[in-house]
Amino acid sequence: MPSFSTKRVVRHSPLNMFDLVADVEQYPEFVPLCEALRVRRRTQSGEGVEILVADMTVAYKLIRETFTSRVTLDRPRRVIHVEYLDGPFSRLDNRWEFLTAGDGQCEVRFSISYEFRSRTLGLLMGAMFDAAFRRFADAFEKRADEVYGKAA
C-alpha cells in the first residue's frame, strides 16, 4: 500500500498551522490536484474538537475523482485526522500533527497511506499522487507565508 510521511519546521506557530490546514474550504486555491472541496456536515465532538464530512474532487488531465472523508479537527491536541468514507479508494488515512518547535516555530508532521479500489486507477494515478503528496508540505508552507506573512 503506498504511503508517504514527512516532517519539517516552519516559521509559524502550531495553532496558525493547525488553523490553516483545518480551513479545508480553501484547498482548491493552493493544494496540488484539489479541484473542489465541499463540506457536507460539521459537528462538535467535545471541547475544541470538530468533525467534518467533506467531498474532495481531485483532477489530473482527463482524470477526475471525488471521494468523501471524515476529518477530525482536534484543536487542543493540534492534530487533524482524515479517514476515508467513500470513493475510488479502498483505504485512505491521513494525519497532521503540529508541534511546538521553539521561537514561535512549528514542526509539522504529515503522513498518508492509501490504496485505490481499482488496480487500473492505481496504475494511472499512483505516481502522480505520490508526486503531489511530496509537494503538499511546500504548498501549505507557501500558503502560511501568504496568510500570516513571512517570518524573519
DSSP 8-state assignment for residue 24: G
List of residues 6+ apart from 72 with CB closer than 8 A: 45, 49, 50, 51, 79, 80, 81, 82, 83
Q: Domains along the chain?
A: 3-148 (3.30.530.20)
Instruction: Count the helix, strand and coil residues of the chain and give each as a percent rounded to the nearest 5.
Output: 30, 50, 20
Indicate whether 152 pLDDT > 60: no
Span 131-152, mean pLDDT?
82
Q: What is the pLDDT of residue 124?
A: 67
What is the DSSP annotation of 48-74? TEEEEEEEEEEEETTEEEEEEEEEEEE
Residues in the chain: 152
Element (H, E) at 101: strand 89-102
73-76 CB contacts, 8 Å cutoff, 24+ apart? 73/18, 73/22, 73/49, 74/48, 74/49, 75/15, 75/18, 75/22, 75/48, 75/49, 75/50, 76/47, 76/48, 76/49
Span 46-59, mean pLDDT?
94
The model's pTM is 0.90
Indicate whether 21 pLDDT > 80: yes
Indicate whether 63 pLDDT > 70: yes
Indicate whether 88 pLDDT > 90: no
Residue that the C-alpha cell 492534530 belongs to: 79
111-138: pLDDT as tens digits? 988 888 878 777 766 667 667 777 777 8
